[in-house]
Amino acid sequence: MSLEVDEGLRAAGLSPDEAAAMQYFLAELLRWNRVHNLTAIDETEAAFHLHLIDSIVVLPILQRYLQTPLRVNETPIQIADLGSGGGLPGIPLAILQPTWFFSLIEASKKKAAFLQHVRGGLGLSHLQIMASRVENVANTHRAFFDAITARAFTRLHKLLDLSAPLLKSSGFVFAMKSQQSEEEISEVSSKDWTLLEECQLSLPGQTLDRRLLVFQYQQ
């Protein structure tokens, strides 16, 4: 792994162990991608900025909504990452937040196999891989999750429709978008969902438009 990637991870505030875990994940993502086409980005520096940092910068926002005094001594926070693909943002979030439990939902068997490989390689016991369609998971995990994450998974109103059966009352959806979102937001039912925040994210060394939309389910 390049020195630039290592220095970039340290600059993002990661500990040596966290940086090493991220480097392993990125190296495996790029290695598997050469055979299995897990992602369209296959150059190390681009993958670093567009995948790892993109996922890392959303964590403080998730923490702000999910780590409240009312949750003290409760069961672990349950997060579902829909259409996890190559493990983004689920794997980086799981590396940085070991007290939460993550379920990475991915229908593609080859991508799910990669996620299982990384889970084992990093020993992420607080993470499970669900090789299934989101609709099928909703049948067995109804109203189970505190929050949903998704990165460029599907159009916003469809993402929220898929998320609703999975969420606990007043649960959150954190939707990562790479473009202006006004048209997609206008398609969302205000009866079922409240848009709490639209965060514009700044990625080091990038000028791309990155946004995180935070929705709360009104059951």
Among 90-94, 141-145, 183-187, 204-208, name the one with the lowest average pLDDT: 204-208
Tokens of 35: 């055979």
Question: H-helix or E-strand containing 111?
Answer: helix 109-122
Q: What is the pLDDT of residues 159-216, one digit of tens each?
A: 999 999 999 999 999 999 876 778 899 999 889 999 999 998 876 655 566 789 999 9
State residue 203's pLDDT score: 63
Arithmetic mean of pLDDT, 112-133 = 98
Give me the chain's average pLDDT, please: 88
∠ CA 136-142-147, rounded to 5°? 100
Arithmetic mean of pLDDT, 85-97 = 95
Question: Which residues, other chains included, contact 213 with Cβ-Cβ below 8 Å and sequence gap of 6+?
Answer: 156, 173, 174, 175, 177, 181, 185, 195, 197, 198, 199
Arithmetic mean of pLDDT, 11-16 = 82
Q: How far apart are CA 131 and CA 174, in angstroms?
A: 21
Q: What is the pLDDT of residues 48-84, one digit of tens each?
A: 767 888 888 899 999 999 987 655 557 889 999 999 9
pTM for this predicted structure: 0.91
Question: H-helix or E-strand containing 56?
Answer: helix 54-56
Res. 1 pLDDT band, cuts 50 70 90: very low
φ, ψ (nearest 5 deg) of residue 89: -90, 5
Res. 5 pLDDT band, cuts 50 70 90: low
Arithmetic mean of pLDDT, 79-94 = 96
State residue 145's pLDDT score: 97
∠ CA 45-52-182, rounded to 5°? 105
Number of Cβ within a 10 Å radius of residue 9:
24
Using an 8 Å Cβ cutoff, are 4 and 45 in contact? yes
Dmax over Cα atoms in the chain, in whole Å? 50
Q: How far apart are CA 34 and CA 46, in angstroms?
A: 15
In the predicted structure, residue 101 carries a pLDDT above the cut 90: yes
State residue 3's pLDDT score: 53
